[in-house]
């Protein structure tokens, strides 16, 4: 009866009555074959349903069909395959977040382990299914889990725990008004109380089970419980009651051709007749018992032979399929090997071509850099040559003009106009000589660095103010980097400094100058502050000198700020971003 119960608990999914896809049709046909016991054919249809559902992207059908494949494999004794498909079904339902079906498949795995007598694993899966059922508050699933756990505990002879979980299942089935399941649990509880020798409780549960089975029209369970109840009465000594119930069970079992119950009822009738000292009747029932048993065994053997034949033919077909698959795999392996070599050769050629073009591009770039460097060096040398020529030719000419103007000045002491003109020529020559030196200095690429520019500013300031009654205080940073700056930035910034010093000398009447430079990672700030008489920036703002200074700084991305007050001196603040003047980063 326990085996019958376990098979009874295995389930398959019910499907909607809406318009169905081909996959749903295949699934329903498979369920029909499963219910008829045609498990091999059912598996074929279930697998087709999975294949079609995969095309239709219907994960629900894939999960249900996969679960039913597992059920079918379980029925034909292929437990390992059944377990694999149950796990696949759980994975499918897990993607859908379908807790209900995950719990059902997990419960089925528990039943699978229970049949294999691996009770700890069975209980573990039942407990997991139970937890999921509690999470979604599915009372029917909870009841099924408790009932299945009772079967395991009973086989482990843990009868107290068996009664506890059976009772929970019974209460839930009654709450759900599931009379068929309630009858089954009542039968299970009756068996437990019989094993505990508590016959009154066993009789009470069997009577309740018979009443519910009659109500739902389950003739098989009616006959089975009547025979079980008869076996209990023989243990209590009420042999006539035992005989009557076994006879009633035999009659009802014959109506539905329930061979197992017919055989068991004959055994019960023989035992009861013997206890009633009706030995002749006992002998007749014992003969009937043996005849029915032999007949049933022969039928079973025939069915086993047919099953074995089917299994043999199936195994042969599977072997043929495996051989064909191996041949196909071998061919595919050879094709893959050929493809691998072809791919490797193509990859080698592509890498070689890419490497060649990359090398070619680098060579071209290298040659271009060499060419550009040669041109740049040639240009630099040409600039230096021109600068030397200017220095030699123009410098000597200007020096001669300066010398002659000084002679004229000395010889024309009585001619003030001529002296004034010669003095102007001398001053102009001096300025041109000075500007020429600055130009030649700037043309030398070795001089156009930030450190050299600042050094040149200090040198020029010291030389320029040497003849004037002014003290100069320098506040310059140490360790200035020898970073190249653009010639334009060098020229414009230096010209602004010269213009600033020229304005101080001519207009400020200052006695002290503070010259400071601040340098950080982003900018350079140059401040020239004097203690002279100052001027009004509003009235002087239109002067050409200030406009020129502002224009020069704007060209190289800088800003100038001039603060001046009468009798309080003047402060000239120059700010330039380093990114605007450097030819490379610090």
Alpha helices by DSSP H, 138-198: 139-155, 159-176, 179-195
State pLDDT tens for residues 305-336: 445 455 545 555 665 666 677 677 778 888 88
CA distances from 273 to 229, 268, 285 (A): 16, 9, 8
State pLDDT tens for residues 473-523: 999 988 888 788 887 888 888 888 888 888 888 888 889 999 999 988 888
pLDDT at 246 over 90: yes
Per-residue tokens: 493: 């910034």
pTM over 0.75: no
Mean pLDDT of 368-386: 71
What pLDDT does 7 receive? 38
CA distances from 445 to 441, 453, 484, 579 (A): 9, 12, 9, 19
Mean pLDDT of 555-563: 89
- Angle ∠(469,474,480) on CA atoms, nearest 5: 145
Mean pLDDT of 188-192: 90
What pLDDT does 403 receive? 62
Mean pLDDT of 145-157: 90
What pLDDT does 514 receive? 93
The H or E element containing residue 473 is strand 471-475
- Report the first-to-last Cα separation within the chain, whole angstroms: 92
Mean of pLDDT over the chain: 80
- The band of 16, judged by pLDDT with boundaries at 50, 70 and 90, is very low
């Amino acid at each position: 009866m326990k085996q019958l119960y376990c098979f009874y608990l295995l389930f398959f999914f019910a499907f909607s009555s809406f318009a169905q896809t081909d996959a749903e049709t295949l699934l329903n046909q498979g369920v029909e074959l499963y219910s008829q016991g045609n498990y091999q054919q059912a598996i074929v249809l279930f697998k087709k349903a999975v294949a079609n559902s995969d095309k239709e992207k219907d994960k629900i059908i894939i999960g249900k069909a996969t679960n039913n494949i597992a059920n079918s494999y379980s029925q034909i004794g292929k437990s390992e395959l059944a377990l694999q498909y149950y796990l696949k079904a759980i994975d499918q339902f897990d993607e859908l977040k379908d807790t209900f079906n995950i719990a059902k498949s997990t419960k089925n795995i528990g039943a699978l382990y229970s049949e294999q007598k691996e009770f700890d694993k069975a209980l573990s899966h039942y407990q997991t299914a139970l937890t999921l059922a509690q999470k979604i508050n599915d009372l029917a699933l909870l009841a099924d889990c408790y009932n299945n756990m009772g079967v395991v505990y009973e086989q482990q002879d843990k009868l107290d725990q068996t009664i506890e979980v059976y009772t929970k299942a019974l209460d839930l089935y009654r709450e759900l008004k599931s009379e068929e399941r309630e009858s089954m649990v009542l039968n299970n509880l009756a068996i437990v109380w019989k094993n505990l020798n508590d016959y009154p409780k066993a009789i009470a549960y069997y009577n309740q089970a018979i009443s519910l089975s009659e109500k739902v029209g389950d003739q098989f369970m009616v006959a089975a419980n009547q025979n079980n109840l008869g076996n209990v009465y023989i243990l209590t000594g009420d042999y006539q009651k035992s005989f009557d119930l076994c006879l009633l069970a035999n009659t009802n079992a014959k109506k539905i051709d329930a061979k197992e119950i017919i055989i068991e009822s004959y055994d019960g009738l023989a035992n009861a007749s013997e206890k009633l000292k009706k030995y002749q009747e006992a002998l007749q029932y014992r003969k009937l018992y043996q005849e029915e048993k032999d007949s049933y065994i022969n039928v079973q053997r025939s069915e086993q032979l047919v099953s074995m034949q089917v299994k043999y033919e199936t195994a042969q077909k599977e072997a043929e399929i495996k051989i064909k698959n191996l041949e196909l795999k071998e061919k595919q392996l050879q094709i893959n090997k050929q493809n691998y070599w072809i791919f490797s050769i193509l990859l080698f050629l592509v890498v070689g071509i890419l490497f060649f073009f990359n090398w070619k591009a680098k060579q071209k770039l290298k040659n271009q850099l060499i060419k550009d460097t040669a041109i740049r060096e040639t240009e630099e040398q040409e600039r230096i040559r021109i600068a030397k020529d200017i220095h030699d030719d123009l410098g000597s000419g200007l020096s001669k003009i300066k010398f002659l103007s000084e002679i004229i000045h000395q010889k024309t002491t009585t001619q003030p106009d001529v002296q004034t003109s010669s003095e102007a020529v001398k001053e102009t020559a001096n300025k041109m000589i000075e500007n020429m030196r600055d130009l030649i200095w700037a043309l030398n690429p070795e001089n156009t660095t930030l450190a050299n520019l600042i050094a040149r500013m200090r040198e020029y300031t010291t030389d320029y103010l040497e003849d004037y009654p002014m003290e100069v205080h320098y506040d310059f940073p140490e360790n200035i980097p020898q970073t190249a700056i653009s010639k334009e930035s060098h020229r414009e910034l230096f010209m602004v400094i010269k213009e600033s010093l020229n304005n101080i000398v001519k207009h400020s009447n200052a006695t002290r100058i503070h010259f400071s430079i601040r340098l950080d990672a982003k900018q350079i700030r140059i401040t020239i502050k004097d203690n002279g008489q100052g001027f009004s920036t509003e009235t002087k703002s239109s002067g050409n000198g200030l406009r020129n200074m502002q224009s020069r700084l704007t060209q190289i991305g800088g800003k100038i700020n001039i603060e001046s007050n009468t009798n309080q001196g003047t402060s000239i603040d120059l700010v330039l971003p380093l990114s605007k003047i450097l030819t490379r980063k610090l």
